[in-house]
């Protein structure tokens, strides 16, 4: 996952940039680079692969200067090669960027019409090209930078250096983090406090829309209208070697990685600029398939449950879904038009592997959706669709769940198109839903403080109910699993319509009921079930479309989530449930990453 550094100092900054890139490398990346200004020119070195490749490159062909920027790239737009590596230098400017420029294809089309040639496949290059044009048109760097960022949509942290300005760095952020540190004889900009903690003990975080300008040893911060502003500095923790990156647990670290890993997974399966699904690259014959069997365990099973509704609604393909431990003992009606699909984070879950072998013995074609591509499940499959979540260490599956969904959504769209069940404009609209998911996850993560308050209110409960309908029923089951496995609170997920067929007997003023009601066709029905809980004094937490009158009249707690698409609801709405489980467990002092009796890979039946 990408990392940014920028250093201005009274000495050559090349080796310090490389050191910071090494400290950013824990995030995962596939290329690295730096650029430095000296004698009114920009010098750039970048290379595919590890920072050691960059170090070797610099040993053979060094660059030096007092001001420079560096980047570790985890490919999202365009292959992980040297050309797509950052920085992106276009004659007068060199840029490093984290995040996604969502409107880059529109901006690129405009520039291409006016004769601009693009070198890379990245969304980042549009930033360098736009700033360069402003500079050619006579604008000063700050104005050129500001005029450019006003055109960008998406989430980003950007730092730029300029030809002819040996000591100048300009940066900004929207959605993605950017901070600065005033160290001894040095100013450092970074996307990650942790990676620069060897240089000092406090940093200043930029807020969205802030612009930072550093020139020699001077730092100035500006708001969007270029008024000077101040931001408070914060003490930071020292870098440690445990891989937690300053977080208390892997689970919360992994929850927060989701915008990055989702954009990685989605950009592998989708061509964002052409609004196309990239699954044709697999030499696998999907043409005959008219039925899919899905099998998995735990959270992966709930991903399968979401996928079933997508395959049926969007691709018009019938799906039979089974828990893997049941699958192998059941009559499955295999035939040569059926595809067997297995979902597993670890790729080693014994029941899922046994189910796969059972399908294989029955001459089924096997597709697996896995995180660990070296796993047994992957090795025994005819086609492997990796989910690109990166290593998941916390026992509670979080980022693997949303990346499984992103991967499955891509497969659904691919098959829907192959079966001609969606037309070009429906395909475009569904891809557009997926494109916005990383930045929507980032927005929902901002509810963490509200969720902490809810966690405080419910953490002493002995039981909880999650309820949903349609797209949110699998989430109700997943939310309950997440809560029970790490907090040890008994939790049940139910279909909202089933409430009055039994679970309503549990409702009293101590019982938290988490109602999952997005702005979809079930909203009104969900609300009437919520009212049934309210009338019996239950403690309602509404996640979805929250209206002001509900907050007042029903005195409920709400997390307002504004997505209403078929594909984005399950992905986005799982985030608050993960945060809720985490903060409840934290308040209860459980062993969050390794809850009692559980293992990360369940390799026994």
Contact 409, 396 (CB under 8 A): no
Window contacting ligand M6R (CB under 6 A); options: 79-87, 338-346, 379-387, 424-432 = 338-346
Q: Which of 132, 258, 325, 352 binds ligand M6R (CB under 6 A)?
A: 352
Contact 133, 152 (CB under 8 A): no
> Is residue 48 close enough to count as binding ligand M6R by CB under 6 A?
no
DSSP string, 101-159: ETTHHHHHHHHHHTTPPP-SS-STHHHHHHHHHHHHTT--HHHHHHHHHTT--EEEEEE
Q: Which is nearer to ligand M6R, 122 or 299 (CB)?
A: 299
To ligand M6R, the closest distance from the beta carbon of 319 in angstroms equals 18
Residues 6+ apart with CB under 8 A from 110: none
The 437-476 site mask, x for binding ligand M6R (CB under 6 A), equals ----------------------------------------
Sheet holding 31-38, edge to edge: 41-48, 31-38, 67-73, 3-9, 186-190, 179-183, 202-205, 233-235
To ligand M6R, the closest distance from the beta carbon of 351 in angstroms equals 8
To ligand M6R, the closest distance from the beta carbon of 538 in angstroms equals 26
Window contacting ligand M6R (CB under 6 A); options: 258-266, 439-447, 463-471, 595-603 = 595-603
Q: Which is nearer to ligand M6R, 99 or 479 (CB)?
A: 479
403 among known catalytic residues: no
2 among known catalytic residues: yes
Q: Which of 244, 495, 506, 602 binds ligand M6R (CB under 6 A)?
A: 602
Q: Which is nearer to ligand M6R, 535 or 603 (CB)?
A: 603
> Is residue 345 close enough to count as binding ligand M6R by CB under 6 A?
yes
Residues 483-502 that bind ligand M6R (CB under 6 A): 485
Residues 6+ apart with CB under 8 A from 330: 322
- Of the residues 2, 67, 297, 403, only one is catalytic, namely 2
Q: Which of 299, 340, 557, 574 binds ligand M6R (CB under 6 A)?
A: 299
How many residues belong to the site for ligand M6R (CB under 6 A)?
17
To ligand M6R, the closest distance from the beta carbon of 404 in angstroms equals 8
To ligand M6R, the closest distance from the beta carbon of 348 in angstroms equals 7
Q: Which is nearer to ligand M6R, 299 or 402 (CB)?
A: 299
Nearest residue to ligand M6R by CB is 298
Contact 556, 542 (CB under 8 A): yes
Q: Which is nearer to ligand M6R, 127 or 370 (CB)?
A: 370
Measured CA to CA, the distance from residue 295 to residue 329 in angstroms comes to 12
Residue 247, both tokens: 């977080």
Q: Which is nearer to ligand M6R, 426 or 594 (CB)?
A: 594
Q: Which is nearer to ligand M6R, 219 or 323 (CB)?
A: 323
| E-strand stretches of 512-556 | 512-517, 539-544
> Is residue 295 close enough to count as binding ligand M6R by CB under 6 A?
no
Measured CA to CA, the distance from residue 503 to residue 518 in angstroms comes to 22
DSSP string, 315-383: H--EEEEEEHHHHTTS-----TTEEEEEEESSS--HHHHHHHHHHHHTT-EEEEEES-TTSHHHHT-SE
> Is residue 349 close enough to count as binding ligand M6R by CB under 6 A?
yes
Measured CA to CA, the distance from residue 451 to residue 295 in angstroms comes to 32
Q: Which is nearer to ligand M6R, 74 or 342 (CB)?
A: 342
CA distances from 551 to 469, 546, 557, 558 (A): 21, 8, 7, 7
Of 178, 164, 181, 168, nearest to 214 (Cα)? 168
To ligand M6R, the closest distance from the beta carbon of 473 in angstroms equals 17
Residues 374-433 that bind ligand M6R (CB under 6 A): 395-397
Of 304, 251, 527, 263, nearest to 412 (Cα)? 304
Q: Which of 78, 175, 298, 493 binds ligand M6R (CB under 6 A)?
A: 298
Q: Which of 187, 261, 266, 300 binds ligand M6R (CB under 6 A)?
A: 300
To ligand M6R, the closest distance from the beta carbon of 571 in angstroms equals 16
The count of residues in the chain is 605
> Is residue 344 close enough to count as binding ligand M6R by CB under 6 A?
yes
Measured CA to CA, the distance from residue 152 to residue 139 in angstroms comes to 18
> Is residue 578 close enough to count as binding ligand M6R by CB under 6 A?
no
- Of the residues 276, 419, 525, 600, only one is catalytic, namely 600
To ligand M6R, the closest distance from the beta carbon of 395 in angstroms equals 5
Q: What 8-state DSSP symbol labels residue 528?
A: H
**Long-range CB contacts for residues 441-445, cutoff 8 Å, separation at least 24:** 441/258, 441/259, 441/262, 441/402, 441/571, 441/572, 441/575, 442/155, 442/175, 442/176, 442/259, 444/561, 444/572, 444/575, 444/576, 445/255, 445/256, 445/258, 445/259, 445/575, 445/579
Window contacting ligand M6R (CB under 6 A); options: 45-53, 61-69, 150-158, 296-304 = 296-304
> Is residue 601 close enough to count as binding ligand M6R by CB under 6 A?
yes
To ligand M6R, the closest distance from the beta carbon of 466 in angstroms equals 14
Measured CA to CA, the distance from residue 418 to residue 554 in angstroms comes to 47
* Residues binding ligand M6R (CB under 6 A): 297-300, 344-346, 349, 352, 395-397, 481, 485, 598, 601-602
Active site residues: 2, 600
């Amino acid at each position: 996952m990408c990392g940014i550094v920028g250093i201005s100092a009274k000495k050559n900054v090349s080796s310090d940039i490389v050191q910071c890139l090494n400290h950013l490398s824990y995030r995962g990346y596939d290329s690295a680079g730096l650029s430095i200004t000296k004698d009114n020119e920009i010098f750039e070195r970048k290379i595919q692969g590890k920072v050691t490749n960059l170090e070797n490159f610099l040993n053979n062909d060094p660059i030096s200067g007092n001001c420079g920027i560096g980047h570790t790239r985890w490919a999202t737009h365009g292959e992980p090669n040297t050309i797509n590596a950052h920085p992106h230098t276009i004659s007068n400017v060199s840029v490093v960027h984290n995040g996604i420029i969502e409107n880059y294809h529109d901006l690129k089309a405009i520039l291409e019409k006016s004769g601009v040639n693009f070198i890379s496949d990245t969304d980042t290059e549009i930033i360098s090209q736009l700033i360069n044009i402003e500079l050619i048109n006579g604008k000063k760097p700050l104005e050129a930078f500001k005029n450019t960022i006003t055109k960008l949509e998406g989430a980003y942290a950007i730092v730029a250096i300029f030809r002819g300005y040996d000591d100048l760095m300009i940066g900004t952020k929207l959605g993605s983090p950017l901070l600065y540190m005033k160290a001894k004889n040095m100013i450092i900009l970074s996307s990650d406090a942790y990676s620069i903690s060897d240089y000092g003990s406090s940093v200043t975080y930029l807020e969205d829309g802030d612009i930072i300008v550093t020139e020699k040893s001077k730092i100035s911060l500006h708001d969007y209208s270029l008024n000077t502003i101040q931001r408070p500095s914060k003490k930071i923790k020292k870098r440690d070697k445990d891989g937690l990156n300053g977080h208390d647990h892997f689970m919360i670290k992994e929850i927060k990685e989701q915008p990055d890993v989702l954009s990685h997974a989605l950009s592998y399966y989708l061509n964002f600029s052409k609004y196309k699904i990239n699954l044709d690259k697999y030499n696998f014959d999907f043409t005959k398939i008219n039925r899919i069997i899905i099998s998995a365990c735990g959270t992966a099973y709930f991903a399968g449950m979401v996928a079933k509704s997508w395959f049926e609604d969007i691709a018009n393909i019938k799906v039979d879904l089974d828990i893997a431990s049941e699958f192998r003992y059941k009559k499955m009606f295999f035939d040569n038009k059926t595809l067997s699909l297995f979902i597993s984070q670890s790729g080693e879950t014994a029941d899922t592997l046994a189910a796969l072998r059972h399908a294989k013995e029955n001459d089924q074609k096997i597709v697996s959706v896995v995180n660990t591509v070296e796993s047994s499940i992957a090795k025994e499959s005819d086609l492997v669709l990796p989910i690109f979540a990166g290593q998941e260490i916390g026992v509670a599956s979080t980022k693997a769940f949303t990346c499984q969904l992103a991967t499955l959504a891509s497969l659904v769209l691919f098959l829907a198109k192959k079966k001609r069940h969606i037309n070009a404009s429906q395909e475009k609209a569904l891809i557009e839903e997926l494109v916005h998911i990383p930045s929507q996850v980032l927005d929902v993560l901002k509810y963490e403080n509200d969720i902490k308050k809810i966690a405080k209110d419910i953490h002493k409960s002995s039981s909880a109910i999650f309820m949903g309908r349609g797209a949110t029923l699998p989430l109700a089951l997943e939310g309950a699993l997440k809560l029970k496995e790490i907090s040890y609170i008994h939790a049940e997920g139910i279909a909202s319509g089933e409430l009055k067929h039994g679970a309503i007997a549990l409702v009293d003023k101590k019982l938290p009921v988490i109602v999952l009601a997005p702005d979809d066709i079930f909203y009104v029905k969900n609300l009437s079930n919520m009212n049934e809980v309210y009338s019996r004094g239950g403690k309602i937490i509404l996640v979805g479309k929250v209206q002001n009158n509900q907050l007042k009249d029903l005195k409920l707690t709400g997390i307002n989530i504004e997505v209403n698409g078929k594909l984005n609801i399950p992905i986005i709405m799982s985030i608050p449930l993960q945060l809720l489980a985490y903060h409840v467990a934290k308040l209860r002092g459980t062993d969050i990453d390794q809850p009692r009796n559980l293992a990360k890979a369940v390799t026994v039946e």
